[in-house]
Amino acid sequence: MIGLLHHILLRAAERAPEKTALRCNGQALSYGDWLRRSSALASALRAQGVQRGDRVGILLNKSLETPVAVYGIWMAGAAYVPLDPLAPVARLGFAVQDARVTHLVTHEPKRAAAATLAAAHGVTRVIGLAPGDDLSAEALRWADVPAGAAPAPKIALGPDDLAYVMYTSGSTGTPKGLMHTHASGLAYARLSAELYDVQSSDVLSNHSPLHFDMSTFDYFTGPLCGATTVIIPEPVTKFPASLSKLIQDERMTIWYSVTTALVQLVLRGALPQRDLSALRWILYGGEPYPPSALRELQALVPGARVSNVYGPAEVNQCTYYHVPALGAEVADDDSVPIGQIWAESEGLLLDPDDRETPPGEIGELVVRTPTMMRGYWNRPDLNARAFFSRRGRGQTEDVFYRTGDLMRVDAHGRLRFCGRKDRQIKTRGYRVELDEVESALALHPAVGEVAAYPTSDGEGSLLIGAAVIVRAGQSLNESELKTDVARRLPPYAVPNTIRFLADFPRTGTGKIDRRALAEQSATATQGAVEQTPTATWVGRVTQPEE
């Protein structure tokens, strides 16, 4: 009986101990060895003092140790906090302090960042590093995690215990931690396994990093079905032709990634030279897929079904849409439907007064699903606004998550995406609050006013643009400001272009007109405006003292 997430591994190792569970960079791990390594890690964590409900950080480049850490932390009774190995250490420090992480699982390539987290952010014990003078925390090398240790300690965990806390961009200027439980994680594994008919013969593509919710398909659903997961190293994900070669050589059967990765594979992946005949299902999510690009993908990989996956990380997934072969009848400027609410779940479209919208009209999607998070870590203010409650029959209460996504139901009963309620955007698969980008830019002492807005990347996704008014008497250029903000934001949230203006376009009430700024920016990219700076458009601004 599987009642907790780590039971997934216990059962898989019992059924098929010799089966290859994981592959990464030419290395492999069987289910039996995975369980042994995770159990040993759990014992080491308990010996270091980890208790039920503690949050343990994972700071690893993608490697076999990543899933070993996930299951080992659960077996120790704790929840994992995935830390982006490419994010600036100040941002990691925020998550570590916010979640009160004192134990960290890492490896030598991340030594410098781990040392900073120990010196300045409260980490006291580290697994995966040799002790050293540069490290204020007590350290245990991977090689010294006792092998063949006793079975994982028995801890009285229940389905409502915390399983992971995932940080995502927050509109108030700091990231927020989503709390998922064993129940919500397991519900996702079960529902996704059924929906996509995942079998033990399947080979899954772990394209997403651990701090991305899509990784739960590879690390929860895959082992639930006894499948093999191929962990794709970060550098490979940046080279579409290398990526397509790996899909071919590993004979991957189910692909799951953000839309951008697939768009890049079609554009630059040399797909006609690859044999992708093993691929039976392509899942994409995170952003709309332009129909013209999707048609190309279907033509290049004719043997694979394609499905659109939708769901904010707060619920992981909540709808499905199996894309039919897109013919010429689907216009290029049309959109692919979000589709249907998935099993055991309910969706409503609400107007601003929380009343259900009439059929066919646009409303905010709210969803009730067993995959829903418990709430945001330590943020009662956000939790008060994140949910919609409806009295059920009898003594029950139905709790829905407010997605912030505006949708309508089309003539075929399928949900269609119509935009956001707020200023959250997706940039090449990454979820970013533009308010957070503005807050980060505004921290530079020379920045007076700032506005961030989406710009097109020309391939169906968005990049971030920003405009800045420099304080009187100060000087600042694009490179200085980007370097500064890169210390606070992950690389994907750093604006791609920063313009320096003497003033902003304003609305009638004096607010910054960000829409006009975005339009100016689009015009500038097409024309030659930026090569011929005018009084308001200059690459570098030094304002005279007043």
**Shortest Å, Cβ 235 to other proteins:** 4
Nearer to other proteins, 141 or 245 (CB): 245
Q: How far is the CB of 241 from other proteins (least distance, A)?
A: 5
Stretch that binds other proteins, among 21-29, 265-273, 286-294, 315-323 (CB under 8 A): 265-273
Q: Which is nearer to other proteins, 415 or 494 (CB)?
A: 494
Provide the H-helix boundaries in 339-433. Answer: 380-386
Q: How far is the CB of 185 from other proteins (least distance, A)?
A: 28
Q: Which of 240, 288, 363, 495 binds other proteins (CB under 8 A)?
A: 240
| Residue written as token pair 């995406």 | 417
Contacts of 435 (CB under 8 A, 6+ apart): 171, 172, 173, 423, 452
Q: Cβ of residue 267: shortest distance to other proteins, in angstroms?
A: 8
237 near other proteins, rule: CB under 8 A: yes
Sign of the CA dihedral 448, 454, 456, 459?
positive
Percentages helix, strand, coil for the chain, rounded to the nearest 5?
A: 30, 25, 40
Among 122, 138, 482, 538, binds other proteins (CB under 8 A): 482
**Using CB under 8 A as the criterion, what x/- string covers residues 185-224 for binding other proteins?**
----------------------------------------
Max alpha carbon distance in the chain (Å)? 76
- Among candidate residues 462, 460, 449, 436, the one with its CA nearest the CA of residue 511: 449
Using alpha carbons, select from 406, 402, 403, 437 the residue that is nearest to residue 419: 406
Exposed / middle / buried, residue 217 (Cβ in 10 Å: 0-12, 13-18, 19+): buried
The letter for the amino acid at 350 is L
If you write DSSP's letter for every residue of 164-212 in order, what string do you get? EEEEE--TTSS-EEEEEEHHHHHHHHHHHHHHTT--TT-EEEE-S-TTS
- Supply the minimum distance, in Å, between the C-beta of residue 127 and other proteins: 21
Min. distance of Cβ 233 from other proteins in angstroms? 8
- Residue 527 CB partners (closer than 8 Å, separation 6+): none
Binding mask 486-525 for other proteins (x = CB under 8 A): -----xx---x-----------------------------
CA–CA separation, 508 and 505 (whole Å): 10
Q: Does 235 bind other proteins (CB under 8 A)?
A: yes
Binding mask 414-443 for other proteins (x = CB under 8 A): --------------x---------------
Indicate which single residue of 51, 201, 277, 479 sits in contact with other proteins (rule: CB under 8 A). 479
> Is 190 within 8 Å of 180 (Cβ atoms)?
no
Considering only 260-268, 315-323, 397-405, 413-421, which stretch makes contact with other proteins by CB under 8 A?
260-268
Q: Which of 339, 460 has the CB closer to other proteins?
A: 460
Residue among 268, 385, 506, 540 that touches other proteins (CB under 8 A): 268
CA distance 537 to 545: 20
At 471, list the tokens. Answer: 């304080």
Helix and strand counts by DSSP (H, E) for the chain:
16, 29
Q: Report in angstroms how near the CB of residue 49 gets to other proteins at its nearest.
A: 32
Nearest to other proteins of 25, 199 (CB atom): 25
What minimum distance in Å lies between the beta carbon of 242 and other proteins?
Answer: 4
List 61, 136, 335, 497, residue binding other proteins (CB under 8 A): 61
Q: What string of H, E and C letters represents the secondary structure of 434-449?
A: HHHHHHHHHCCCCEEE
Q: Per-residue x/- marks for other proteins, 107-146, CB under 8 A?
A: --x-------------------------------------
* Nearest alpha-carbon partner for 501 in 543, 464, 462: 543
Helix (H) or strand (E) holding 341: strand 340-341
Which range, of 118-126, 229-237, 414-422, 529-537, touches other proteins by CB under 8 A?
229-237
Cβ-contact 22, 180 below 8 angstroms: no
Minimum CB separation from other proteins for residue 16, in Å?
Answer: 32
Calpha distance 260→266 (Å, rounded): 10
How many positions of this chain bind other proteins (CB under 8 A)? Answer: 29
- In 71-175 the beta strands, taken as DSSP E runs, fall at 79-82, 103-106, 125-127, 138-140, 162-168
Let me know the angle formed at the C-alpha of 177 by 174 and 181, rounded to the nearest 5 degrees: 175
Minimum CB–partner distance for residue 309 and other proteins (Å): 21
Which residue among 197, 234, 356, 519 contacts other proteins (CB under 8 A)?
Answer: 234
One DSSP character per residue, 205-270 reads: EE-S-TTSTTHHIIIIIHHHTT-EEEEPPHHHHT-HHHHHHHHHHTT--EEEEEHHHHHHHHHHS-
Determine, following the binding rule CB under 8 A, whether residue 273 of this chain makes contact with other proteins. Answer: yes
User: Nearest approach, Cβ of 314 to other proteins (angstroms)?
Assistant: 26
Among 27, 151, 199, 238, binds other proteins (CB under 8 A): 238
CB of 439 to other proteins, least distance (A): 21
Token couple for 353: 């007064």
Select 475 or 479, whichever has its Cβ closest to other proteins.
Answer: 479
CB of 264 to other proteins, least distance (A): 7
Site for other proteins, rule CB under 8 A: 61, 85-86, 109, 233-242, 245, 264, 267-270, 273, 428, 478-479, 482-483, 491-492, 496
